[in-house]
Amino acid sequence: MNKPITLADVARRAGTSTAVVSYVINDGPRPVAAATRERVLAAAAELGYRPNRIARALRSRTTGVVGLVLADALNPYFGALAEHVEQELTGHDRLMLIGNAGYSAERQRHLVERFLAAQVDALVIVSADATDDVARHAAQAGVPAVYLHNGPAAGSAPLVAADNEHAVREAVAHLRAHGHHDPAFLAGPHDTGPVGLRRLTWQESAAPAVNPGPAPGPAPSAAPDATPGPAPDAAPGAVLLRSAYSRADADALTRRLIAGGVMPRALITATDEQAVGVLSGACAAGLAVPDDLAVISLDGTPGSAHTAPALTVTRQPVADMARQAVALLFGRAAPAPAPRATLIARRSCGCDSR
């Protein structure tokens, strides 16, 4: 009962040779008459035949598998990227394996080495550490690779990223249209990668119209990753806040700022996870959104439409990014301009999403 179905079994059921079955299953190298092809496919379906990927890999010297190194599998933004990468790879008849780096540079290197040892056909790297060009190991092994969302500026593989500068300018302009001329910015613990670009663009965009605002005091020593306060290099009056990329840290930071009476009137968050934490902290402290605090987030994950109130976001073009990355992997596209985010106006900024 547990004996695997073979090509010979399918050939007997279809009344043809194993060679013809192989041509049908592998879509070549020789053509097969339409009627015979349908008979083979019907026999394979009746018997429950599944191609042996290992045997195919030995014959073709390819595994049909692509490795995806994900910066953080728990973050919904990266989850959305992974979903679209998998959809694109399915169109190329490739199976995707995911490795979670958990924001660890060491784990990222380990995953790349493991995927290469498993003889993957290609690598997609959503980098957790853009200072380490891990794609160079793939290049040395002759395996195509591409960075997605984040990667070294001059790495050994192409980088497909969104137009982060455009997203921030859209957010700043939208908040100004609501009368907020000095929106604060919630960045991460460190200014690297896309978040660094977003922070720099906010700084440049806010500079012409900023007004001096209150300077939040230092965070308690128990929360070193959430350190509110104006950055030394920020434009005069602009307020740069920092927290880790988690709901809990952004929630705690928001409560402290509100308790100290120094919560900004308008805020742009670098990620949706931080924005959800801000909404939670504001609700717990009795601060109304958007009446007392306007919020825009720069990720636009699917769950952002279902917060209370619904988040206004610049929805990142994850589908276009995944499409470009996979096309580059298989040599079917040249590097293209960075795709742009779309501003989705909802309640958290003061728009009526009805």
**Position 151 pLDDT exceeds 70:** yes
Question: pLDDT-derived band of residue 221, with 50, 70 and 90 as boundaries?
Answer: very low
Instruction: Please check whether residue 209 lies inside any domain of the structure.
Output: yes
| Through-space distance between the first and last CA atoms of the chain, rounded to whole angstroms | 58
Spatial neighbors of 14 by CB under 8 A, at least 6 apart, are: 20, 21, 36, 39, 40, 42, 43
Question: How many other CB atoms are there within 10 angstroms of residue 217's CB atom?
Answer: 12
Of 112, 201, 189, the closest CA to residue 162 belongs to 201
Do 98 and 28 fall within a single domain?
A: no
Rounded to 5 degrees, φ, ψ at 39 are -65, -40
Do 73 and 130 fall within a single domain?
A: yes
Tell the burial category of 291 from Cβ atoms under 10 Å away from its Cβ (0-12, 13-18, 19+). Answer: exposed
Report yes or no: 315 and 342 within 8 Å, Cβ to Cβ: yes
Could you give the CA distance from residue 107 to residue 7 in angstroms, rounded to a whole number? 41
The whole model's pTM is what? 0.76
**Position 259 pLDDT exceeds 90:** yes
Report yes or no: 270 and 188 within 8 Å, Cβ to Cβ: yes
Render the burial of 138-158: b for 16+ CB within 10 Å, e for the rest.
beebebbbbbbbbbbeebbbb
C-alpha distances in Å from residue 42, one per residue of 21, 25, 32, 45, 196: 11, 12, 14, 5, 55
Do 218 and 278 fall within a single domain?
A: yes
For the chain, give the mean pLDDT: 85
Among 141-150, 162-171, 237-246, whose mean pLDDT is lowest? 237-246
Do 46 and 78 fall within a single domain?
A: no
Of all residues in the chain, the percent with pLDDT exceeding 90 is 58
Q: Which of 160, 190, 212 is the last residue of a domain?
A: 160
Of 163, 165, 168, the closest CA to residue 183 belongs to 168
Structural domain including 30 reads 7-51
Spatial neighbors of 287 by CB under 8 A, at least 6 apart, are: 258, 263, 293
> Residue 340 is encoded by which pair of tokens?
């742009």
Do 111 and 185 fall within a single domain?
A: no
Among 83-92, 163-172, 328-337, whose mean pLDDT is lowest? 328-337
Of all residues in the chain, the percent with pLDDT exceeding 70 is 86
Q: Which of 160, 182, 207 is the last residue of a domain?
A: 160
**No. of helices (H) and no. of strands (E), the chain:** 12, 11
Rounded to 5 degrees, φ, ψ at 214 are -65, 145
**Site of tokens 């300018």:** 169
- Which CATH number belongs to the domain containing residue 123 in this structure? 3.40.50.2300
Could you give the CA distance from residue 59 to residue 274 in angstroms, rounded to a whole number? 49
Instruction: Please check whether residue 331 lies inside any domain of the structure.
Output: no
**Site of tokens 């009627």:** 35
pLDDT tens for 96-120 read 999 999 989 999 999 999 999 888 9
**Site of tokens 């302009």:** 173
pLDDT tens for 295-354 read 999 999 999 999 999 999 999 999 999 999 999 998 866 667 889 999 999 999 999 755
Instruction: Please check whether residue 324 lies inside any domain of the structure.
Output: no
Do 195 and 81 fall within a single domain?
A: no
Instruction: Please check whether residue 58 lies inside any domain of the structure.
Output: no
Q: Which of 127, 160, 193 is the last residue of a domain?
A: 160
Instruction: Please check whether residue 329 lies inside any domain of the structure.
Output: no
Do 114 and 204 fall within a single domain?
A: no
Could you give the CA distance from residue 270 to residue 110 in angstroms, rounded to a whole number? 28
Q: How many domains does the chain have?
A: 3
